[in-house]
Amino acid sequence: MECRVLSIQSHVVRGYVGNKSASFPLQVLGFEVDSINSVQFSNHTGYSHWKGQVLTADELHVLYEGIKLNNVHHYDYVLTGYTRDTSFLEMVVDIVQELKRANPSLVYVCDPVLGDHGSMYVPQNLYPVYKNKVVPVADIITPNQFEAELLTGKNISTEKDAVEVMDLLHAMGPDTVVITSSDLPPRLGDRFLVCLGSQRHVRPDGSRTTERVRMEVPKVDAVFVGTGDLFAAMLLAWTHHYPNDLKTACEKTFSVMHHVIQRTISYAHELAGPGRRPSPPQLELRMVQSKADIEDPAIVTKATVIS
């Protein structure tokens, strides 16, 4: 039976960001994807110039109503990423709630894009909407450390802090939380980045148990755009295939990321030439070229189970 995803994210004509970063890999893995573009830009905003349009909440509502009128609004997953407008985000919440009423087993995967490294890169008024409306209806969330701290009001200085923050996020609604990057000290050295995940499971007797994992992934000295969208899409896919095995789902997800990023940085350095830093066009994700790695990634990032 096919699995259907409604992806509400940004779209760029050139490169892989938002819906393009999510739709292609999901389709490669057998998912049927319906895409609604929250913005349509010529290219991502890491370039010197960009042009395009931003979808309003009313326009989103019209598109969704069209889907409903044709009775094709039957989804297994909803996936969302970057947005800058509170009314648009509130409309997404309304759509998710309606879809969950029609299909109580629907899974909402949310990348709560708020900021990084101590500063926000969306308007401040999005924060209470994410905290009070979005996260409570989400099933899977993929914040970075800054976003996880912002949503819970608790700082992360140790692994114990991170576990407590993930538990606080669970208490807000989501059963699966993956902190995609953190400032925690890596055991493998400063060339690595620590990521953590937590997943609540319900036992047959109704009691709950929690699986928590830690990963250390290699740092890359470059700025990529679209990796967060790709990560959320791959976590959706691999938790679908391994619903009760967060360790394997994370290993598959992070390994896909590794292969795509390594292929991209190698290609970018080749284009840039010796001693030159690659430009944004040269750092566009090599997604199509990574099709085989998306389908069956060689595991290069191992997760360890933590208490």
Q: What 3-state class would DSSP assign to 262?
A: helix
Residue in the block written with tokens 């009423």: 101
- DSSP string over 91-149: HHHHHHHHHHHH-TT-EEEE----EETTEESS-TTHHHHIIIIIHHH-SEE---HHHHH
Of residues 179, 174, 131, 170, the one with CA closest to residue 153: 131
Angle value at C-alpha 125, between 123 and 131, nearest 5 degrees: 115
Report DSSP state, residue 49.
Answer: -
- Per annotation, catalytic residue among 85, 111, 139, 229: 229
Burial class (CB in 10 A: 0-12, 13-18, 19+), 270: exposed
Question: Residue 214's beta-bridge partner residues?
Answer: 196, 304
Catalytic (active site) residue 167: no
* Catalytic annotation, residues: 229
